[in-house]
Amino acid sequence: MTVTAPLPAARPRALTFGNVWLSLALLAVMLLYPFVFGKALNFGVSTLVFAGLAMSWNILGGWAGQLSLGHAAFVGVGAYTMTLLATPERVPAFLGGPVAPWWGALIGMGLAVLLAAVWGALTFRLRGSYFVLSSIAVALVLRLVAINEEFTGGSEGLFMPELPTLFGLDLFDRRVEYGLALAFVALTLLVTHLLRRSRLGYALQAVREDEDGARALGIDPARMKLVAFMLSAALTALGGSLYAVYLQAFEPHTLLELPVSVQIALMAIIGGRASIQGPVIGALLLATFGEVFRTVFASANLLIYGVLILAVTLFAPNGVLGLFRRGGRKLGTAR
């Protein structure tokens, strides 16, 4: 995209009080959740995993302003790599045996970075809608490979094998998974926060707002986008590995379809792109809505996603967080 919807410009000053309170409130909710809703840990874990994925997406989609509708590709790379390497009968012979899930997750991140590097190097040369289109195609190609190849378990997918314990903790215990998911969200928050204050972060925002202007300042837009893409891919793959552990069994349809990519992107967009807490808020909102509407509309629960996208693009181009901020400042720049 050469130009994007007007986004709240990052102000080069310390965290505002609003941000601090909001962050603390979010953190408190997340920390207390397992104690209050011990029975609904599944919801908690999946919501947190998706919040982390939305944060990871946001590095590219929000800060660099590149709409990706193919992040399911990286979720898939992370999930498949980790699971395949942990399954004794599927591990390539030269590795000598199953790989512990945390090492598998790291390898998955590496592969995702590699994929992003090649894909980004090729597509970021172009302007316009090409990146969006390519992102859909890459994820679809991976999906077809996952469905048709033997080593990926075909359309039946994979089962998670017995996993070694991590510091004596059982990875299939929902409370452990909740903790890991929370750590994942914390990591993505930390990376985003560091990014925002960094040279790279400012360069990305400059590229997002005005590519030609950024170039005039000596920034290489294609390179900046590429770095953001690789970072985003690595974190997304990590989230994918975690999601695989949570699911324990998955198939290409649950991981590599367009709706997965859309869901991730949507959480960040609805919450507020280019903001730190936006994706987390978006994930909480969408997951809750999704859960409620699943009971009302059954399989047509994505209907509410459609309505929400439309509502947000029409009335809150800067997301829910943008609405809050605008409320404070009275009609901002939008429109």
Partner 1 sequence: MDQAAVTALLQTLAQGLLTGGLYALIGTGLSLIFGVMRVINFAHGDFLAIGMFITLALFRAFNLDPYLSLLVAAPVGFALGFVIQRFVLARLGDRLSEGSMLATLGIGLIVSNTLLLTFGAQPQNINVPYATNTFQLGGVQVSIPLLIAGLGTALAIAGLNLLLYRTELGRAIRATAQNPLGAELQGVKTTNIQAIVFGLGVAFAAIAGVLLMPLLYAFPTVGENYTTKAFIVTVLGGLGNLPGAIAGGLVLGVVESLGAFYISNNYRDAYGLVAFLLVLLLRPEGLFGRTVKRV
Residues in the interface with partner 1 (CB under 8 A) total 51
- Within 10 angstroms of residue 206's Cβ, the number of other Cβ atoms is 18
Helix 221-247 and helix 174-197, axial crossing angle in degrees, nearest 10: 170
Per CB under 8 A, the segment of 1-9, 169-177, 183-191, 244-252 that binds partner 1 is: 1-9
Interaction between residue 127 and partner 1 (CB under 8 A): yes
Q: Which is nearer to partner 1, 12 or 295 (CB)?
A: 295
Binding mask 256-295 for partner 1 (x = CB under 8 A): --x---x------x--------------------------
CA separation, residue 23 to residues 18, 189, 280, 329 (Å)? 8, 10, 10, 20
Q: Residue 239 or 317: which CB sits closer to partner 1?
A: 317
Q: Judged by CB under 8 A, which of 10, 40, 91, 132 binds partner 1?
A: 132
Report if residue 130 touches partner 1, rule: CB under 8 A: yes
Q: Rounded distance, CA 242 to CA 161, Å?
A: 14
Interactions with partner 1, residue window 186-215 (CB under 8 A)? 211
Residue with token string 């011990």 = 38
| Bridge partners, residue 159, by sequence | 249
Region binding partner 1 by CB under 8 A among candidate stretches 81-89, 160-168, 181-189, 296-304: 296-304
Give residue for tokens 């946001």. Answer: 58
CB 53 within 8 A of CB 45: no
Is residue 133 a contact point for partner 1 (CB under 8 A)? yes
Which is nearer to partner 1, 99 or 227 (by Cβ)?
Answer: 227
State in angstroms the smallest separation of the CB of 286 from partner 1. 12
Buried b (16+ CB within 10 A) or exposed e, 257-289: beebbbbbbbbbbbbbbbbbbbbbbbbbbbbeb
Region at 162 (left for phi over 0; alpha for psi -120 to 50; beta for the rest): beta
Contacting residues toward partner 1, per CB under 8 A: 1, 3-6, 67, 69, 122-130, 132-134, 136-138, 140-141, 144-145, 147-148, 211, 221-222, 258, 262, 269, 297, 299-303, 305-310, 312-314, 317, 335
